[in-house]
Each structure stands twice: as structure tokens, then as C-alpha cells.
Structure 1
Amino acid sequence: MTNTETEAYLRTELRQIEQWEHEQKDIFFWEKLGRLPFAILDRITPKFIQDKIGTALDELGGYIQSGGRYLISKEQMYRKFFPNEEGDQGPALERIGQLPLGRMDEIAKHIIETSSKTAAVQGATTGIGGIFTLVIDIPLLLGISLKALQEIAISYGYDPTEQSERIFIVKCLQFSSADVVGKKAILEDLAAFHSGEKSNQVLSQLQGWREVMLTYRDNFGWKKMVQLIPIAGMLFGAYLNRSTLQDVAETGRMMYRKRRILEKLHADKLL
């Protein structure tokens, strides 16, 4: 399939992503405050809830290592692009990568929309029971987030079953909840992927996955506080889960979109 997108168009889209990256480095005061309640409430959180959070951390490590139960069906995603064909891994991903950027964006945005609605419903449901239902909420939201990021990866022609892509996905998860210093460091890590260098330096960060999830966990600070009041927890749970998923998925879309644009420019020898 011939790429008909012009250099001017691709470079314009690339500049928009770089502007988005720059904006993400600005951390707001309320984002810092959002981490405080977790430290305070940790002292009164029952041990079985803390154990469940620890299990979620371990599951993320398992996801990086082998994919585990979080891996999605690639064939279902292929049918979104090629509804009348049976998906075959290699050729299907190659063909997706050669599609116009607009078609990839269309599928990715649909994934963000549907995943956000799922996360909102799940947040409202688990918010009914107050703080104790956080035991259910954290692993469920983690699963929805990882599923959305894997589907977005396929939307831009990348295989989320590869270990290097699973690391990239977790980095996107980390980026969406990091502070300004963390975002800058993660962008530098992801630069190796953007330049096509799946370097040993990035792969060696496999051992640092627990820090990723600890940062992700901190985002639940305000939610835990509000979930002390069951009904309020339902409303706030729906809002926070939706906004959290949107942030995570939009990060994935921008990062994978940037990689695809750079590869298109490189393929046409425009870089």
C-alpha cells in the first residue's frame, strides 16, 4: 500500500505531538495535592486492601515479563481494520502500519471513547461500597488501562505481545501519572523507541516496573478519601476512573502516533 501522505502533513502532525509533550511537562498544584491523601490514609487503610494493591503491583511485573492474563486478542482488533478478512499477525500489522494516519487515529479515538465509558461505569459500580470496594477497583482499572493501550498499539501497527512493546505500554502508563521531573525522564526513555533504537538501556528498566505502579497507585489518593462516603464515592469514582483512563489512553495515542509518523517519514527518506 502506497503512502500518499505528504511530508508537510506529517511534519505538521509531528509538531502538534511535540507541543503536546511540552504541555505535559507542566504540573499543576492540585496534581501534587492529589498525592497527599494517599500518604495520610495509608495509615487507616485495612491490611487486606494494601495487600490487594501489592498484588496489582506484582501483576504489572508479570505483564511485562509474559503478558499474562492482560494480553488481548489481536484478531479482534484486526477485524476493526479488515472486517471481511481473517487476521494473520505479520501481514495484518504491516498493512495497518501502511494505512493513512487518519484511519489509525479514527480507530484509536474510538478505543479511547469506549474504554472511558467502561471505566466510568466500573468506577461508579465499585464506588457504591465505599473504601472497601477499592480492592476491586484498582485491578479492574489497571486491566482496562492495559487493554486500551494494547489496542491503541495495534491501531498504529505495533505488536503488544512483544516484550519491548509491553515495556513501552507501561512507560505510557507511568507517564500519564508522573510529575514534571518524571515526565521529562520518561520522554527521554521513549526517545529510544521513537528513533527505532530498542536499546539495552530501555530494556534494562524492566527491573524498575514496581516504581511505575507505585506512582500509578498514588493517583487514587483523593478517590480513597471520597470513598469513605459510599454514595459520594460512586459519583467521584465514575469521574476519576473516566479521566484517568482518558489520560492514559491519550498518552498512548500520542506516543504511538509519534512513532508511526517518524517511521513514515523515515520510510520515505524524509528524515
Structure 2
Amino acid sequence: METENQLLTELKEIEKWEKSQKQLWIWDRIMRLPFKLLDRVTPSFIHKKIGLLLDELGSYVQTGGQYLIQENNVLNKIQKENPEIPIHSIDDAAGVPIISMKAVSEELKKSRGGFATVQGATTGFGGIFTLAADIPLMLGISLKTLQEIAIAYGYDPRKREERIFIVKCLQFSSSDIVGKKAILRELSSFHANREDSREVMSQLQGWREVVFTYRDQFGWKKLLQAVPVAGMVFGAITNRQAVHDVAETADMLYRKRRVLERLS
């Protein structure tokens, strides 16, 4: 198991990443300006499709629904990283070294990013005719990626509190600088006191904000992706980046939880 100094080194790396997330790049500032115009020119069926995500996220938090995954595939990856430790359950996975957890998380990030690239190119090929299919598929890939990384760090996404944490990670990855700061403060309460965290995480705020930021984040891509054939390029690149951001958020926030638990 890690020494205290090793855990503190991991914590510094995570805190450095958190600090970087609180800075809004000039390109992000520019991209956020014309959303009123975007609302007018985005086809109504896309607005309706994105609106359905609110109900989908609510259903996921309550029951897991169609998005709840089997953990065997991730446990097998953890077993390969730790052949000397028998891994039969998520509880077993919680006891492996953090360096192994990071390795599995990185592998999942790459594989899901590759899948999102192909999916974005496929749905972008048909332009506006296949555009609506891309939105729910991206939600599914994002939730699947978040759940797999949760398991990699020894947390069970079948538990409701973990599904809430997963949606907070999803919200964080698509939020602006103000939203990121607020979520980090909220998740700090989760890390600091487990009893208080149950109360904090029992009330999920921001489902609607998640949906709106999805609309904003995907808006320009969807307009570009609406052009047949040319939409392949935009769909592939932006879907890959979106899944990368989600996976990076999950890796950092779940790793922080595991580090703080071991330090305490």
C-alpha cells in the first residue's frame, strides 16, 4: 500500500488539476457568447431530444435504468494489473494500489475515447438526418465511462449515492467556471465528512443545468455536424474530446476520494 508521502503527492496532482479547472480560457469565453442566436437556429427536434436528457438523468439516479453496467469487464482489467491479488468484487478492487487504479482508469479513458470517435463520425456522416441519434448515445457513453472509472477506484455505481456522484461528475465536466467552483465546494463536503455527505448528496441540484450545458456544449458541434459527410470530422473530434473530459473528471475526483480515505 502507498506511504503517506505518496498519497500526499497524488493529492497535490489532483489539487493542481482542480485549480486549472477554475480558469476559463479565452476560447471558451468567445464560444459562450452567441447562445441566444444558437437557440434560434438550432432545429426544434434537437431541443426536444436534449430536453429528454433531464428525465433520463433523473431515472438513472433513481434506478440506474438502462445505463447500469456489469462490473466484470473492469474487474478483469484490475485483476490483470494485480495478478497477485484475487479480485472477485468491487470491495476487492478498493484495496489495490492507487497506481493500478490509475492505470485501469487510463485504459478505460482511451478505449471509450476511441469508441466515441467512431460513434461521432458515424452519426455525423448523415448530417442533420442522423444528428438526433448522437445526443442520447453520447449520454450513454458518458455514463458508462463514469461508472467504469468508479469501479476502477473501488466504488459501486449500483449504489444510489454513487450514481448521484457520477451525475455530479457529468455536471462538472460540462459546467462553466462558476459551476465548477460550486461543484468542487460541494464535493469537498462529501470528502470531508461522510455523515454530512449523505445529506449533501441526497439532494441533486442542477439536473436542468446539466441539460442546458449539454445544449451549449454540443450546440456548435451539432450545427457543424448537420452538414452531411463533413459532419464526420466535427462529430469524431468533439465526441472524443467530450468523453475525454468526462473520463478525466471521474479519474481525478474518484482518485481524490480514495486518497483522502486512505490518508484518514
TM-based fold match above 0.5: yes
Select the residue among 7, 13, 17 that pairs with 1:10: 7
**1:148-163 map, 5 Å:** 148-163=145-160
Cα distance in 2 between the residues matched to 1:87 and 1:18: 30
Asked whether 1:179 is paired with 2:179, we answer no
**CA deviation digits over 1:79-135, x for unaligned, max 9?**
2223699975xxx22221111111111110000000000000000111112234221
Give how far 1:46 is off.
Answer: 3.2
User: Residue 229 of structure 1: SS of its match in structure 2?
Assistant: coil
| TM-score normalized with structure 1 length | 0.89
Within the candidate set 91, 94, 98, 1:94 is matched to 91
**Distance (whole Å) between structure 1 residues aligned to residue 216 and residue 160 of structure 2:** 26
Separation in 1 of the partners of 2:222 and 2:39? Answer: 9
SS at match of 1:82: helix
Of 41-50 and 143-152, deviating more is 41-50
1:204 corresponds to 2:214: no
How much is the aligned-residue C-alpha RMSD, in angstroms?
A: 2.0
Query: Unmatched 5+ residue regions in structure 2?
Result: none
Taking structure 2 as the reference length, what is the TM-score of the superposition? 0.91
Is the Cα contact below 8 Å between 1:173 and 1:248 reproduced in 2? yes
Question: C-alpha separation between the residues in 2 aligned to 1:103 and 1:228?
Answer: 41
Contact 1:192 1:199 in 2 (8 A): no
Q: 1:24 aligns with which of 5, 21, 24?
A: 21
Aligned to 2:243, which of 240, 245, 264? 245
Please give the alpha-carbon distance, in whole angstroms, between the structure 2 residues aligned to 1:68 and 1:62: 6
Q: How big is each residue's C-alpha offset from its partner over 1:154-212, in whole Å with a ceiling of 9 and x where there is no partner?
A: 0000011111111111111111121111111000111122224223133122x532222
Instruction: Work out the CA distance in 2 between the residues paired with 1:58 and 1:35.
Output: 25
1:188 pairs with 2:185: yes
Distance verdict in 2 for CA 1:190–1:261, change over 3 Å: same
Match of 2:74 in 1: 77
- Give the letter for the 1:248 counterpart: V
Distance 1:103 1:174 in 2: 27
How many residue pairs get matched?
259
Query: Is 1:215 matched with 2:213?
Result: yes
| Separation (CA, whole Å) in 1 of partners of 2:251 and 2:216 | 23
Runs of 5+ consecutive residues of structure 1 not aligned to the other structure: 267-271
Q: Determine whether 1:33 maps to 2:10.
A: no
